[in-house]
Amino acid sequence: MKGLKCVALICGFLLATSLALSSPVQLEEVAEIPMGRVQAMTSDGEVVYAGVSGVVRIYNVFNRDFPQLISDVKGHSSTIVKMEVVGDKLFVLWEKEGLEIFDVTRPYEPLLLGEFPEFKDPVFTNFSTFEIDENRLFLAGKGYLALIDISDLNAPSLLTRANIDGKPLCMDWFKNRLYVANGNKGIYVVGLSRENRFFLLGHQPGTYTSLQLHNNIIIYGRWDAEKPNEKKIFGRRLFNIPFLTPMTVQIFDGIVYAGGYKNFAIYELIEGDPVLVWNLDGMPTLDFGKVDEDIYLANDHMGIHVFDVTNFRAPMEIGHVETYDTPKRICIYDNVLYIAAGRSGVLVYDISDPERPLKIGNVYGVDLTIVWDVQIYNGLLYILGARSSIKEDVFMVVASPKNLSAFDEIPVISTARGPDKIGRIEFGNDFCAVSLGKDGIALMPLNAGHIYTSFILKDYSAQFYDIHFDGDLLYASDFLGGYHVFDLSKEFPAEIGYIHTSQTGGNGFEIVGKYIIAADGQSGVSVIDISNPEKLRLVSTYPSVWGMDVRIFGDYAYVADGPGQLKVFDISSLPTLKMVADMPKNGYWTQLTGFGNYIFSVDMFQGIHVYKAIVEVMLAKTTNLKNMVPTKLEILDNYPNPFNASTEIDFVLPNETHVDLTIFDATGRKVKVLIQDVLPSGKHTLIWNAKYQPSGTYFAVLSTPNETVRKSLILVK
């Protein structure tokens, strides 16, 4: 049960939040661990804009080897699919919300100008790409092409629209023709009449994912192979680049850069033909930006990689910024946060100071293609995922939380069709249970420390999600909208009860006495009477956006509400629910847990948020202090200090000014310039990576045109 995992850590949270909620409670976001996938990228001067899922992250790349995160733009819960800078304007396309246009005259403080559509429009959904031609913008999504007038950036307006089969992935406007790479629907060539009406000029069959026009040739990425005697309407002008699973193509000075799900490659155009000159396998690249002779690759799940392409035949990797994959589940144990991070494995952070999570590393020796869950039991880490060598096999890996190394693996299930992408671990008194979605629930007896799969609880009409033990009973939520009860006391465990509560619910739940409090998808929060496990009764509900997970702290239920973020309910009078708080207003929350008086939330698109639960009076004071304009230039602190390898340096600026932050050693020798740029007023954090510097005392010197301050840093290796 959950109490076996984090009981000591949760107790402090119970006291803090129970007291706090006697008055209206608020949350103050105090930290964030960004983890989203980098799927879109663009650049302008020494600034790189990266679309990390639903956030625009803005980096200064004065240091080519270590881009510094300066600011970000939040606001949506879907993925950014494309970005482009044109002059001092930034165009950002979100998959669900559509197009937004920002003024980036001040690059670190984008100002929203206009958006399309201005309001939700059922005609325009599922956006996929765009292409700009002066004062016009071609916009595409599932089932449509649209032409948008952007002559007034504050009010983009629709000029024309046409239906198209499929979902265009890439477009390019060339010589009054629009070329559309439309996935398995092929390449379309579309014309535009004087009356602004689209008409089809030609079609090339195949599966095309990327496309770029250069002079009189078309460079494209094709997923499938050409068929015998296939008709080619473009003739010699159509060139396929044979890089793996192609996703993006860009051409600079006759050099073709091509990225895909499996590699990144560079081609030289020789007499119009692309010739491969360099290839890097294992570098999944969805997009990239180029600054001078450096390229910044948007890696599918490993962050931003920086390559110097001065010699494009032999690029050299010079830097890397981690962002990781979509977080799945989290667990806290002994002041350490463990994150099941999909394809990136298990990430580990020291949260002794919850407001400054410090990355410790990864769990080593985990040979899993994807990780779904991580839990603590009897002082050991149990990590659930699918094997890389046999992708259709599900394993639990056992690791030490002290040295972060794996030492054992436990086979859970083998399925020829591949595992369902749902996996959770739960420990009871006599069993360990693993939910496997449509593959059932693996029941594993706990016998003298040896764990092995004994039973698979099956229900072919169910997709199991969350699971909890209650004595000899096992309760399981059904992703398809219900809750099941299994009796484990018999020789052969059997299902004894079931209730159907919604069409798409059955997410996370908790057991409180004789009730289940369930995050029930679109039905919101449901309360189910389980006093008779064979006859479950739905006794009350409370509407919300999309219930995803529940945690009980004292007399309060904290609900991760998907795009509705967080709801807090008073459950002191069950089965009656009373909502006492609805906060904050960003992200897509899928799970949460507690530590002291802090909440750690899993955001499907943005990473891990850390919130401090405080009463309204305390929040007002904190907000007032936070919003005060700094009165002087100051280096606040660096963390950690002393440090090993890297440290974060905090400083504040009283007004917007040109800043130079440089590191010097004890002899006065200049070691590293971290930034030289104009930054807005307020607090900023930069990171110094001192991996190759010797131990000793160093000085961070912060200079503006008017004054200089410094701070000592102690490096200990």
Helix H or strand E encompassing 574: none
Q: Could you give the CA distance from residue 614 to residue 117 in angstroms, rounded to a whole number?
A: 38
pLDDT at residue 448, rounded to an integer: 60
pLDDT over 80 (residue 684): yes
CA neighbor of 21 nearest in space, from 621, 522, 581, 504: 581
Mean pLDDT of all residues in 411-438: 82
Alpha-carbon distances of 205 from 111, 229, 370, rounded to whole Å: 42, 12, 34
Rounded to 5 degrees, φ, ψ at 620 are -60, -40
pLDDT at 53 over 80: no
Q: Is the pLDDT of residue 615 over 70?
A: no
Give the DSSP letter string of 165-224: SS---EEEEETTEEEEE-BTT-EEEEEE-TTS-EEEEEEE-S-EEEEEEETTEEEEEESS
Per-residue model confidence (pLDDT) at position 388: 61
Facing residues of 665 across strands? 698
pLDDT band for position 217 (50/70/90)? confident
Tokens standing for 555? 């007399």
Q: What is the pLDDT of residue 603?
A: 86
Closest CA to 78 of 539, 586, 639, 605: 605
Check if the beta carbon of residue 551 is closer than 8 Å to that of residue 592: yes
- Give the HSE-up count for residue 591: Cα atoms under 13 Å, Cβ half-sphere: 21
Q: Which helix (H) or strand (E) holds 380?
A: strand 380-387
All residues at 6 or more sequence positions from 584 whose CB lies less than 8 Å from its CB, including other chains: 27, 29, 565, 566, 611
What per-residue confidence (pLDDT) applies to 472?
Answer: 93
pLDDT tens-digit profile of 248-293? 888 888 898 998 888 899 999 887 778 889 998 888 888 888 888 9
DSSP strand E in 15-60: where?
Answer: 25-34, 38-44, 47-52, 55-60
Identify the pLDDT of residue 10.
36
- Mean pLDDT for the chain? 85
pLDDT of 148-181, one tens digit each?
Answer: 999 999 999 999 999 999 999 999 998 889 999 9
Which residues neighbour 186 within 8 Å (Cβ) at sequence distance 6 or greater?
A: 203, 204, 205, 206, 207, 208
435, β-bridge pairs: 424, 441
Query: CA dist 304 to 4, 33, 37, 266, 290, Å?
Result: 38, 15, 10, 18, 12
**Structure tokens of 323?**
């962002």
CATH class in words for 35-321: mainly beta
The domain locations on the chain are 3-31+324-622, 35-321, 630-715
Closest CA to 561 of 615, 619, 505: 505
369: tokens are 């293609």
Domains 3-31+324-622 and 35-321 in one fold: yes
H or E element that contains 24: none
Q: What is the pLDDT of residues 486-499, one digit of tens each?
A: 999 988 899 999 99
pLDDT for 32 beyond 70:
yes
* pLDDT score recorded for residue 5: 36
**pLDDT number for residue 235:** 60
Q: What is the pLDDT of residues 538-588, one digit of tens each?
A: 999 998 889 999 998 888 899 999 888 888 898 999 999 998 888 776 778
568, 601 in Cβ contact below 8 A?
A: no
Q: What per-residue confidence (pLDDT) applies to 1?
A: 36
Question: At a CB cut-off of 8 Å and minimum separation 6, what does 121 contact?
Answer: none
The class (CATH top level) of 630-715 is mainly beta
Confidence of residue 227 (pLDDT cuts 50, 70, 90): confident
Q: Residue 293: helix, strand or coil by DSSP?
A: coil
Superfamily grouping for domain 3-31+324-622? YVTN repeat-like/Quinoprotein amine dehydrogenase (2.130.10.10)
pLDDT of 63 over the 70 cut: yes
| CB-CB neighbours of 688 under 10 Å | 25
